[in-house]
Structure 1
Amino acid sequence: MTALASAPRRATHIRPLRLSFPHLLRSETIKVFTLRSTWWSLGITIALSVGISLLIAIASSGFGSGVSPTMVVLAPIPFTMLVAGIFGAIVITGEYATGMIRSTLTAEPRRGAVVLAKALVVSCVMAATTGVTSVIAVLVTAPLVRAEIDWSTPSTSIVPLAMGVVSMVAFTVIGLGFGFLLRSGAGAIAATVGVLFVLPIVVSLFSFAGERWQWILDSAQYLPMNASAALTTPGATDLGPSAIAMAAWALVPLVLGWVVLRSRDA
């Protein structure tokens, strides 16, 4: 009787299973790379980046040395940003669709750790992909562009290329944040495409509205696509405002997604 009476009390001291953060990162990495959508997204990113850069290099090869070779490499970002954002969105919405998110949160109840681990994994994957793609684009377009990248001047070479990597990571995290926030693949993709692509077009329509709405046009420089364009412009000096805007666009949806994950059942 004593043993039976004490058994429930002992059971209450059992701690929930928690993965160490390195194990959680490893788990999230395995999940990301076992998704077909990951390989499709990365493959499309590489193909678009190298293909568009190559086409621009071919088209500009007859115009002398006036074309910046760094811009040739960075020109595909307005197109590949959508792929990056969608990649970030489907990484998490796929788990909600299949119910795997419940297994994830059972293995790791600390929901903030799950959000952080996913953000780190997708950021590293996209950063590595963008870095490798930039190297390939440089090698492919170098014979066609008469001007050479001046690596001795970081502001026209290393800095804009690095900002290109940062921009693609930010676009991916924006999609991931909307995925956590909306929990729907269609909804997260629509929100991501809306912010990255549609919103700049809508804001540009106010150019016909006169000076009364000029403040809207002025604020357009802080939209993700325009902030990325400012960061990746060779020779740009005042990168602070654009960098802050990019960081805010990436972090706000992610933090809101974390809040929703904490307050609602999976």
Structure 2
Amino acid sequence: MLQAQQAPGQQHHAQQQAQAQAPQQPAPPHPQQAYAGGPGGYVSPIPVRPTHLGHALASEWTKIRSVRSTIWTLGVMLLLIVGIGLLASLAAGSDREMDPLLGVGFVGVLLGSLCVITLGVLSISSEYGTGMIRTTLTASPSRIRLLTAKALVFFTLALVLTTVATTLVALLDSAMLNGPAPTTDQWLRATLGAGLYVALLGLLALAVGALLRHSAGAISTMMGVVLLPMLLALFLQGESLKDVQRALIEYSVPSALAALYDIPFLSTGPSGWTPVGILAGVTAVVLGGAYAALMRRDV
């Protein structure tokens, strides 16, 4: 009789001991603090967030400002534009009248554009040369986003620095030279227009670097684009080749840049803001080819 009364109590005590000895299941991680790789998969303690263009822009800005090539090329570019512009103003002096007044800054901008072209190529081709492009594509699998971030960061940096340099030269010319006061359109073309043209040249170089994936080859190609038309025009000395010679001079990079300063090599070539529009169209086409090539390649 006593054993029958104690049996339910003993059974309840045994159930409590079994529950205490059973292994406890871990609490599921918070969805913003961990990533589960599937049922029974690895759970990461690192927060996982969806990436976007802002992350790619931050990455490209960190890369372009932390390499020595950026400091050297842009430093030399600023030295050429401002230094040659200052020397040209000092050489011209205030005794004779200069028309157009801002035209003396053309030579420094033309030479400085070669530095921007070099940096445009190196900003992408150097990653192919070192193999860093594999790490970049692993961290940013979206190739359209990757090339867009590179183009935006480089173009903005080149545009801002070149425009600041050309504006400083224009102010020096206005203060040191004698001549008719430039109009608002002349001011804009000699500062913002020149900055846009040089930045577009650098962006074109970046697109060529993405297509060729080789620093020396892309830089040589861009130097040919800038200098070869003028050199060819010097050797085309036949009457039947006059039209070809004229077209090579009118649409060459030096003549187009000079047109922004109202000193074109030929009076029949593009004038005003037209050179910027032409270069923008060419750059858009080549950059589109770079996007297509980057999407089709393995690396």
Tell me, yes or no, whether TM beats 0.5.
yes
In structure 2, distance between residues paired with 1:216 and 1:74: 22
> TM-score normalized by structure 2?
0.75
The equivalent of 1:246 in structure 2 is: 279
The equivalent of 1:222 in structure 2 is: 251
Check the 8 A contact 1:224/1:245 in 2, yes or no: no
Answer yes or no: is 1:135 the counterpart of 2:167: yes
Identity %: 26
Check the 8 A contact 1:52/1:75 in 2, yes or no: yes
Once the two structures are superposed, residues 54-102 of structure 1 have per-residue CA deviations (whole angstroms, 9 ceiling, x without a partner) of 1211111155122433212333222112111111001111111111111
Q: Deviation of residue 243 (structure 1)?
A: 3.1
- One-letter amino acid of the counterpart of residue 168, structure 1: V
CA RMSD of aligned residues (A): 2.8
The equivalent of 1:166 in structure 2 is: 196
Residues 252 and 159 of structure 1, relative CA distance in 2, 3 Å threshold: same
Of Structure 1 and Structure 2, the greater helix share is in 1
Higher relative contact order (CA 8 A, sep 6+): 1
Answer yes or no: is 1:199 the counterpart of 2:229: yes
- One-letter amino acid of the counterpart of residue 247, structure 2: D
Residues 104 and 149 of structure 1, relative CA distance in 2, 3 Å threshold: farther
Residues 146 and 10 of structure 1, relative CA distance in 2, 3 Å threshold: farther
Q: Deviation of residue 140 (structure 1)?
A: 4.1
Check the 8 A contact 1:177/1:254 in 2, yes or no: yes
Q: Deviation of residue 212 (structure 1)?
A: 4.4
- One-letter amino acid of the counterpart of residue 191, structure 1: T
- One-letter amino acid of the counterpart of residue 205, structure 2: G
1:145 corresponds, among 144, 167, 177, to 177
Once the two structures are superposed, residues 151-197 of structure 1 have per-residue CA deviations (whole angstroms, 9 ceiling, x without a partner) of xx212212332110111111101110111010001101101111012
> TM-score normalized by structure 1?
0.84
Structure possessing the higher radius of gyration over alpha carbons: 2
In structure 2, distance between residues paired with 1:145 and 1:68: 10
Structure 1 outlier segments of 4+, above 6 Å: 7-11, 234-237
The equivalent of 2:6 in structure 1 is: none
- Partner SS, residue 112 of structure 1: helix
Unmatched tracts of structure 1, length 5 or more: 1-6, 12-16
Answer yes or no: is 1:259 the counterpart of 2:288: no
Once the two structures are superposed, residues 216-253 of structure 1 have per-residue CA deviations (whole angstroms, 9 ceiling, x without a partner) of 53254233333232234279995464333211232232
Unmatched tracts of structure 2, length 5 or more: 1-36, 42-48
